[in-house]
Structure 1
Amino acid sequence: MVHYHAIVKGRVQGVGFRYFVQGEAVNRGIKGWVRNTDEGHVELKVEGEQQEVFDFLETVRKGSPFSKVTHLDMEPLTKFAHYQDFRIKG
């Protein structure tokens, strides 16, 4: 089990990117959350099996059809939050 914090930069707001991320996470059984930042980025925290999380983050890096991801900053976290589902935070 791994826990990651990530910031996605590029054209990721106003293009349905958070819903894309949520759909990918739910399909893979990944728990956590995603939200827009005031800086125009998208922030997420995810927990799940290592390979599933890595595959998920690679999909996020590629982006959705209407987005353009230019950078993905990822940081492993040592403490687990034990999320129950995957949510879009407002």
Structure 2
Amino acid sequence: MIHYYAIVKGRVQGVGFRYFVQGEANNRGMKGWVRNTDEGHVELKVEGEQQAVHDFLETVRKGSPFSKVTDIQMEPLTELAYYKNFRIKG
């Protein structure tokens, strides 16, 4: 299991991006959360098996049909949070 934090920049608010991320996470068995930031970005934390998390983050990088991701900053976290599900916060 690995745990990642990511900030996604671009046209990612007001286009259903958080719901896209949640759907992808749930389809892949990921745990964590996603939310909008005050700066107009989307941030998320995700836990899961290494390859599944990397595949999930690559899908997030590509974005949804209505979004335009211009940058994603990813940071591995050293401790697991043991989330129960993947949800939209805030």
TM range (shorter): over 0.9
Give the number of equivalent residue pairs. 90
Normalised by the length of structure 1, the TM-score is 1.00
Unaligned ranges ≥5, structure 2: none
Normalised by the length of structure 2, the TM-score is 1.00
Shift of the alpha carbon at 1:37?
Answer: 0.1
Unaligned ranges ≥5, structure 1: none
**CA distance in structure 2 between the aligned counterparts of 1:81 and 1:2, rounded to whole angstroms:** 10
Shift of the alpha carbon at 1:25?
Answer: 0.1
- Which amino acid is 1:2 matched to? I
**CA distance in structure 1 between the aligned counterparts of 2:60 and 2:76, rounded to whole angstroms:** 16
Matching residue of 1:25: 25
- Which amino acid is 1:22 matched to? Q
CA deviations on 1:11-48 (whole Å, 9 max, x unpaired) are 00000000000000000000000000000000000000
Alpha-carbon RMSD across the aligned residues, in angstroms, is 0.2
SS of residue matched to 1:79: coil
- List 4+ stretches of structure 1 deviating above 4 A: none
